[in-house]
Amino acid sequence: MRILVTDDDRAIRRAIRDVLEMEGHSVDEAEDGLEAFKKLEDVSYDLLLCDLKMPKMDGLALIEKLRAENLSTDIIVMSGHGSIETAVKALRLGAYDFIEKPLNLNRILVSVAHVKEKGMLLQSNAALRSSIKKIKGNGIIGQSQRILDIQEMISKVAPTDARVLITGPNGSGKELVARSIHEQSARAKGPFIEVNCAAIPSELIESELFGHEKGAFTSAIKDKKGKFELASGGTLFLDEIGDMTPSAQAKVLRVLQENVLQRVGGEKDIKVDCRVVAATNKDLRVEINENRFREDLYHRLSVIPIQVPSLNERTEDIPYLVDHFLDIICKEQGRPIKTIDKKALSELQAMDWTGNIRELRNVLERMVILCDQTINENDVRQYANPK
């Protein structure tokens, strides 16, 4: 850490500096509050160790001035004139700790270590929030009438426990709609559990959804909870529900009807409490006519149907999506934020987006990596796939 030690006693400053530098910190000195303030204006310090009784500007006045000027740094105050009142005032002004003189250097090291740990924790939390934001995005992006209608529908449906069936082509943002429903619901503090029914082998889908008992099959070496149980108190998102096996469909129907399930290899009824949101890129009416999907399950799932449009049906949202993704991608790639001119946007709006929003993001990432600071229409023609 970079630390500023402020005390009118040179010997004390030197002793503190020596012990902190032995711990690997970078240390500067100031002999009074005024000199310290000037240094804090010019340099960003992680920590200020500050005496309370100093000429020109005392410690409390220095802290007040730092706060008034919005100069942020952690502060440990030191004083040989300590009292409960002085300590309380310093802490109320924002000091992290109060150490009485004569100083115990080990006590200083412990306090400095705590400040460092706090800073690392804040950085970790900020990184976590950034990761979550990156995963969740900033909500459903767009101002087209179709998107505004979906946002209004979500605001009405989310507070209820009604089941929702989300339909739309691959890459159109069905999962984002499902997450928005969960995040605006009373179950938002509960888990959001996603199951991609198309990605799980047919022989494992029932174990994944309902769990299994030890010994139910060769590799079942212990009891395992399924996704329905894991989603208790929250939302279970069944993605690509149209690819679910007939056997699993029948068991899901029972869970939706009775709110109980049996694990694979088990006989005990287990009560479940989760909201089910399903999604598919298939026309389930056609699947029903072809006897590939149960009509009774369809009616259980589609209490509230939401149709997500393809990107070709909402090209007026492309400028908003481009701004959103350019910001995210440039940060991910560690590059300055790139801009895109109007002709390039028009070129993107003229494209046939068979892969929808997912394809648009891929094209933008390609151009962020390969193009200059401003993306133009020639870049789009070269690196995307126009009509």
- What ranges do the domains of the chain cover? 2-132, 145-308, 312-383
Residue with tokens 């500007």: 57
263-296: pLDDT as tens digits: 988 888 899 999 999 999 999 999 999 999 999 9
User: pTM to 2 decimals?
Assistant: 0.64
Residue with tokens 């590799």: 219
- Fold identical between 2-132 and 312-383? no
Q: 252 with 243: CB under 8 angstroms? A: no
Q: Where are the beta strands (DSSP E) in the chain?
A: 2-6, 26-30, 47-51, 74-79, 97-100, 164-167, 192-196, 235-239, 260-261, 270-271, 275-280, 304-307, 339-340, 374-375
Query: Rounded distance, CA 147 to CA 154, Å?
Result: 11
User: What is the arithmetic mean of pLDDT over 322-350?
Assistant: 93
Fold observed for domain 145-308: Rossmann fold (3.40.50)
CA 148-142-327 angle, to 5 degrees, is 155
250-264: pLDDT as tens digits: 999 999 999 999 898
3-class secondary structure per residue, 237-265: EEECHHHCCHHHHHHHHHHHHHCEECCEC
First to last CA, the chain: 55
Q: 180 with 140: CB under 8 angstroms? A: yes
Instruction: Tell me: pLDDT of 387 over 70.
Output: no
State phi, psi for 98 to the nearest 5 degrees.
Answer: -130, 125
Instruction: Tell me: pLDDT of 360 over 90.
Output: yes
Instruction: Tell me: pLDDT of 126 over 60.
Output: no
Query: Rounded distance, CA 212 to CA 18, Å?
Result: 62
Count of C-beta atoms within a 10 Å radius of residue 275: 23
User: What is the arithmetic mean of pLDDT over 130-142?
Assistant: 58
The predicted pLDDT at position 236 comes to 96
Query: Rounded distance, CA 324 to CA 331, Å?
Result: 11
Instruction: Tell me: pLDDT of 354 over 50.
Output: yes
The predicted pLDDT at position 80 comes to 74
Instruction: Tell me: pLDDT of 131 over 60.
Output: no
Decide: helix, strand or coil at residue 281.
coil
Look at residues 19, 68, 77, 23 and name the one whose alpha carbon lies nearest to residue 48. Answer: 77
Q: Provide DSSP, 131-187.
A: HHHHHHTTSS---SHHHHHHHHHHHHHTTS---EEEE--TTSSHHHHHHHHHHTSTT
Which of 69-83, 117-131, 256-270 bottoms out in mean pLDDT, i.e. has the lowest? 117-131
Query: Rounded distance, CA 36 to CA 29, Å?
Result: 8
The predicted pLDDT at position 84 comes to 66
The predicted pLDDT at position 125 comes to 55
Q: What percent of the chain has pLDDT over 90?
A: 56
Q: Which helix (H) or strand (E) holds 127?
A: helix 105-136
Task: For residue 378, name the pLDDT band (cuts at 50, 70, 90).
Answer: very high
Mean pLDDT of the chain: 88
Q: 257 with 250: CB under 8 angstroms? A: no
Instruction: Tell me: pLDDT of 340 over 80.
Output: yes
Instruction: Tell me: pLDDT of 384 over 80.
Output: yes
Q: 70 with 49: CB under 8 angstroms? A: no
Q: Which CATH class is domain 312-383?
A: mainly alpha
Instruction: Tell me: pLDDT of 133 over 80.
Output: no
The predicted pLDDT at position 138 comes to 43
The predicted pLDDT at position 219 comes to 75
Instruction: Tell me: pLDDT of 206 over 80.
Output: yes
Which of 73-77, 135-139, 340-344 bottoms out in mean pLDDT, i.e. has the lowest? 135-139
Task: For residue 121, name the pLDDT band (cuts at 50, 70, 90).
Answer: low
Question: Hey, which CATH number is domain 2-132, 3.30.450.20, 3.20.20.70, 3.40.50.2300, 2.60.40.1260?
Answer: 3.40.50.2300
Q: Which residue has the higher pLDDT, 162 or 45?
A: 162
